Amino acid sequence: MKMNKLWLIYSSIAFVTVLLMGLSTLENESDIQVAEKDRTTADREQLPDRFNTIREKTTTIPDYESSVTVSEWNNSQETAEVMYDDSDGAFKEEWGLFLASEAANRDIDPFLVYELLRVETGGEFDPEMTGPQTSYGHAYGLAQFMTNTAPWIAEMASVEYDEDLLFDPYYSMLLSVEYLDFLHDRYDDWNYALTAYHRGIYGMENYVSRNGHANSWYAEEIQEMADKSGQLVSHN
């Protein structure tokens, strides 16, 4: 009889303990959810400040006027965060907001441009990078433009050309989006467009003449990595 009473007492204590632990877990999960919501809200509230920061930084680009609104940059927030995390902080969130918005205005996958910039800089995303000497000279900046190419791309983008601005990340990204848009409009094929970006238009045509296609390692790697990066956004 005593054993039955003890068993009932222990069972009751165990039940209450489990119940309290369950309530504690729910409270912790609720706290985490609230904290996550607060963090997200704080990020959203900071967007106008980031918007103004980018506005201020892009004033260094002569004649540049963005039609992007705060709400459109708000939609680019998740993309910018993925780029920042994927690059271990090397690709700044402000850069991601700018790039995602400018690319979206041209119906270009922002991760296609992001991965191009990764390949061009060897994964460093260094806006002050100077490429190795070639028969055509050096390539400069985040998008690695040469001085024989950048001026007419700047003209297409309706911004003033200044060689020093090739080291400005916003200017460099703006030209890269403009050039990719031009190449894709011309060929209607990303293999052709990306290979032309890498080799130049005549270099791409020579590549196609030799190989019968434009599926260079450069074009395939960028598209493959862009698909993987894009999935990080769609799964979040």
118: pLDDT confidence band, cut at 50, 70 and 90?
very high
pLDDT at 6 over 50: no
Higher pLDDT, 103 or 27: 103
Tokens for 73?
A: 């940059």
Segment 51-57 shows an average pLDDT of 58
Q: Is the pLDDT of residue 45 over 90?
A: no
Rounded (10°) CA dihedral 31, 35, 38, 39: -170
Q: Is pLDDT of 218 > 60?
A: yes
Query: Regarding predicted confidence, which is higher, 108 or 234?
Result: 108
How does pLDDT run across 138-185, given as a tens digit for each residue? 999 999 999 999 999 999 998 889 999 999 999 999 999 999 999 999
Q: Considering the chain, what is the average pLDDT of its residues? A: 79
pLDDT(40) > 50 = no
What is the reported pLDDT for 54? 58
Which pLDDT belongs to residue 62?
A: 55
Tokens of 113: 């441009």
Mean pLDDT of 198-227: 96
What pLDDT does 77 receive? Answer: 86
Q: How far apart are CA 99 and CA 55, in angstroms?
A: 13
Between 19 and 124, whose confidence is greater? 124
Domain boundaries, given as residue ranges, for the chain: 49-234
One-letter identity of residue 118: R
Q: What value does the mean pLDDT take over residues 53-75?
A: 61
Task: Give the CATH number of domain 49-234.
Answer: 1.10.530.10
User: What pLDDT does 133 receive?
Assistant: 80
pLDDT at 233: 72
- pLDDT band for 70, please (50, 70, 90 cuts): low
Check residues 179 and 62 and name the one with the higher pLDDT.
179
**Cα gap 176→170, rounded to integer Å:** 10
Task: Give the per-residue pLDDT at 18.
Answer: 43
Find, among 75, 70, 180, the residue nearest to 120 by Cα: 180
